């Protein structure tokens, strides 16, 4: 018998010393329940429990059962009473409870920490041509600006990943392998948006497993040290990296443990790898034969290290550019990124940006011949009736040119010269 006529409550409670965990439960007496938590034997004095949220419901058993079902992946594997906590997940739990049909009224919710304001600090333009600088200038600048330690923004991950068929995730193991920390704070940047996105969509996507690893580099972007988490519908747990096999584990994507997860467990890899080691990263991921959706530099399609992957159809552009990231001070900073994948992109919206028309009709300022008499086209103009190779920038490749009856015909970048002067790097393509 649940409660007779007594009021029924659902609560979220947290212990001061366990910020990445909370307990979600039901009771008919909130005060008594809290004192039970605080008088638990074996509990240290400092580990004080406090409510984060309490509300009245008209069937606490229904609400609790539904929470357990929906968030089974967020319940600790060993102690099923404990749920994974961070501020974004807390908002999700509260939203679920407040929209449950048994919800009656909120009683208490912890005050929101003030949201940090995001400043814009740097501005660069997204492509070489639009920047009006040469490849050499960019390489020099890239050496000065450390693009590796940027946080991806949640909205960029959501915008891209929500565009793929939901079915791609069903029963799949997702591996986030480039410093994809999860912890108690989302706003304070202790949680990467990649695992967060999958945790919030775990049930909806019918995921089998989420594995996320933190990287223990010189800069610890998430202040986490070495950790690796696994989430399944049976709960969450940490990989015990202190075990002999993992003794020298670094959290690097090419560490033996990470490679073992990649090769033996993962179905889909999803992350934002450091731009500076993209060559090594792409090599490992593409050789693994696994599916991936990752962020990389917008110019990869005209970079010799990556051109063969595009030419051989081992990778293509995802849907969106990623122009904005957050730096370590949580300031908005612009860098030229794009999503890349080997998962089908349906009805690519950017096809419409390609202007495939007879050569004759391409405006003169967008078709020129270089010192080798090779045709260079710009501004996404593509000749529909030109049989010889011609050179394009990365942009038409990102807009899906290779899906429109054209192929890349060289395995390296094409550097055109006009009257002896070096022009923007390109790639040679030809109509099939
Ligand atoms: C662009 S940041 C992305 C961080 C996080 N995944 C996100 O999307 O917000 C790239 C991260 O990869 C980390 N990293 C650097 N070398 C790495 C390696 N060999 N293996 C895995 N991660 C690495 C960097 O320290 C940095 O935190």
To test the ligand 1 pocket, which listed residue (180, 215, 327) has its Cβ within 8 A of the most ligand atoms? Answer: 215
Pocket of ligand 1 (CB under 6 A): 148-152, 178-180, 192-194, 215, 217, 219, 221, 252-253, 271-272, 274, 277
Q: Please name each of the domains of the chain with its CATH number.
A: 8-133 (no CATH), 154-346 (3.40.50), 350-431 (no CATH)
Q: Is the dihedral of CA 247, 248, 253, 254 positive or negative?
A: negative
Which protein residue has the closest C-alpha to ligand 1 atom 19?
Answer: 252
Residues 381, 362: Cα–Cα separation, whole Å:
7
Q: What is the pTM of this model?
A: 0.89
CB-based contact 431:377 (threshold 8 Å): no
> How does DSSP assign 293-349, residue by residue?
EEEEETTGGGSTTTHHHHHTTS-EEEEEEEEEEE-TTS-EEEEEEEEEESS--TT-G
CB-based contact 340:400 (threshold 8 Å): no
Which protein residue has the closest C-alpha to ligand 1 atom 26?
Answer: 149
Residues 131, 301: Cα–Cα separation, whole Å:
17
Q: How far apart are the first and last CA of the chain?
A: 74
CB-based contact 193:154 (threshold 8 Å): yes
Q: What is the pLDDT along the chain (432 residues), one digit of tens a residue?
A: 454 579 999 999 999 998 889 999 999 999 999 999 999 888 888 899 999 999 999 999 999 999 999 999 999 998 899 999 998 999 999 999 999 999 999 999 998 755 555 565 554 444 445 444 455 555 544 443 466 788 999 999 999 999 999 999 999 999 999 988 887 665 556 789 999 999 999 999 999 999 999 887 766 666 666 778 899 999 998 888 777 456 778 889 999 999 999 999 999 999 999 999 999 999 999 999 999 999 999 999 999 999 999 999 999 999 999 999 998 888 899 999 999 999 999 999 999 999 999 999 999 999 999 999 999 999 999 999 999 999 999 999 999 999 999 999 999 999 999 999 999 999 999 999
Strand, coil or helix: what is 71? Answer: coil
Which protein residue has the closest C-alpha to ligand 1 atom 18?
Answer: 252
Residues 105, 5: Cα–Cα separation, whole Å:
17
List the beta strands (DSSP E) in 85-172. 103-109, 120-122
To test the ligand 1 pocket, which listed residue (88, 145, 147, 148) has its Cβ within 8 A of the most ligand atoms? Answer: 148
* 295 C-alpha to ligand 1 centroid (Å): 11
To test the ligand 1 pocket, which listed residue (221, 223, 252, 276) has its Cβ within 8 A of the most ligand atoms? Answer: 221
């Amino acid at each position: 018998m649940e409660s007779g006529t007594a009021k029924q409550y659902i609560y979220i409670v947290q212990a001061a010393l366990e910020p990445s965990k909370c307990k979600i439960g039901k009771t008919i007496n909130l005060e008594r329940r809290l004192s039970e938590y605080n008088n638990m034997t074996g509990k240290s004095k400092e580990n004080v429990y406090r409510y984060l949220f309490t509300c009245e419901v008209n069937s606490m058993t229904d609400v609790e059962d539904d929470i357990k079902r929906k968030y089974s992946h967020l319940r600790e594997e060993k102690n099923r009473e404990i749920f994974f906590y961070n501020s974004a997940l807390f908002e999700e739990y509260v939203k679920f409870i407040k929209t449950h049909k048994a919800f009656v009224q909120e009683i208490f919710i912890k005050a929101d920490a003030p949201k940090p304001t995001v400043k814009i600090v740097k501005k660069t333009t997204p492509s070489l041509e639009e920047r009006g600088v040469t490849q050499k200038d960019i390489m020099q600048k890239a050496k000065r600006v450390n693009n590796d330690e940027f946080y991806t923004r949640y909205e960029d991950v959501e915008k891209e990943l929500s565009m793929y068929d939901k079915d791609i995730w069903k029963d799949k193991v997702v591996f986030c392998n480039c410093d994809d920390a999860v912890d108690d704070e989302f706003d304070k940047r202790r949680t990467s948006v990649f695992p967060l996105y999958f945790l919030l969509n775990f049930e909806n996507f019918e995921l089998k497993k989420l594995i996320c690893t933190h990287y223990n580099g010189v800069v610890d972007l998430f202040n986490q040290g070495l950790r690796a988490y696994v989430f399944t519908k049976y709960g969450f747990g940490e990989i015990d990296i202190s075990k002999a096999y993992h003794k020298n584990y670094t959290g690097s994507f090419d560490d033996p443990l990470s490679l073992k997860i990649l090769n033996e467990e993962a179905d889909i890899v999803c992350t934002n790898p450091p731009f500076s080691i993209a060559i090594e990263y792409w090599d490992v991921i593409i050789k693994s034969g696994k599916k991936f959706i990752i962020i990389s530099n917008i110019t990869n399609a005209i970079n010799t290290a990556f051109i063969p992957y595009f030419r051989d159809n081992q990778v293509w552009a995802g849907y969106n550019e990623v122009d904005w990231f957050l730096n370590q001070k949580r300031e908005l900073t612009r860098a030229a990124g794009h999503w890349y994948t080997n998962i089908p992109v349906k009805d690519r919206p950017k096809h419409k940006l390609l202007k495939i028309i007879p050569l004759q009709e391409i405006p003169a300022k967008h078709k020129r011949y270089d010192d080798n008499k090779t045709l260079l086209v710009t501004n996404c103009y593509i000749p529909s009736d030109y049989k010889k190779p011609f050179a394009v920038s990365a942009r038409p490749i990102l807009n899906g040119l290779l899906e429109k009856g054209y192929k890349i015909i060289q395995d390296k970048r094409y550097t055109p010269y006009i009257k002896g002067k070096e022009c923007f790097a390109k790639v040679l393509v030809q109509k099939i």
